[in-house]
């Protein structure tokens, strides 16, 4: 079986690199004591695949990874995994997907939100909303295209807010 996991990475964990985040998730999964499918070869690893990498410093509310296992992963598994996760990391939900499901072929793109402390410059495709003393710019970013870096547009915070899947 393949499971699609949705996770959030906030707080100081946003400063982990993509590679460090992948290793952290693998360690959390190992600590749960579950039996997961492994790659073959001399250095075996869990059969995991991840969504698009983010630049260091970006808050992630829509992280994704796929995990192959023969076990049934239920709410109790999520509770255990979240209880041993560092502060700022949470697996929000999981769902069973088809064995042929591939993240790269299933994701259309992501919605990003940029938080500004002053009125931002307007860019094509941005929806800007004033909320008191801050401005929030939201926009769609196609999968595997350039993700906005922290302070690329003079923003205070960069958030990957949600994922958009291709219509099947």
Based on the number of CB atoms within 10 Å of its own CB, is 93 exposed (0-12), middle (13-18) or buried (19 or more)? exposed
Residues in the chain, total: 168
Span 2-105 CATH architecture? 2-Layer Sandwich (3.30)
What is the spatial distance between Cα 65 and Cα 7, in angstroms, rounded to a whole number? 8
Provide the whole-model pTM.
0.91
What is the spatial distance between Cα 67 and Cα 115, in angstroms, rounded to a whole number? 33
One digit per residue, the tens of pLDDT, for the chain of length 168 reads 899 999 999 999 999 999 999 999 999 999 999 899 988 889 888 889 998 999 999 999 999 999 999 999 999 999 999 999 999 999 999 999 999 999 989 999 999 999 999 999 989 999 999 999 999 999 999 998 999 999 999 999 999 999 999 986
Beta bridge mates, 142 = 109
Domain boundaries, the chain: 2-105, 107-165
């Amino acid at each position: 079986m393949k499971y699609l996991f949705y996770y959030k990475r906030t707080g100081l964990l946003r400063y982990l690199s993509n590679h460090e985040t992948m290793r952290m998730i693998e360690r959390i999964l190992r600590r749960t004591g579950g039996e997961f499918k492994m790659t073959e070869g001399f250095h075996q690893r869990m059969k995991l695949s991840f969504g698009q990498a983010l630049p260091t410093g970006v808050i992630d509310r829509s992280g994704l990874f796929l995990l192959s296992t023969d076990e049934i992963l239920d709410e109790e598994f999520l509770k255990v995994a979240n209880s041993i996760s560092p502060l700022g990391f949470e697996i929000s939900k999981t769902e069973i997907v088809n064995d042929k499901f591939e993240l790269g072929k299933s994701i259309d793109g992501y919605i990003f939100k940029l938080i500004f402390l002053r009125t931002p410059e307007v860019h094509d495709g941005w929806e800007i909303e004033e909320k008191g003393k801050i401005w929030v710019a939201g926009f769609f970013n196609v999968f595997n295209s350039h993700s906005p870096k922290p302070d690329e547009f003079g923003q205070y915070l960069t958030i990957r807010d949600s994922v958009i899947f291709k219509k099947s």
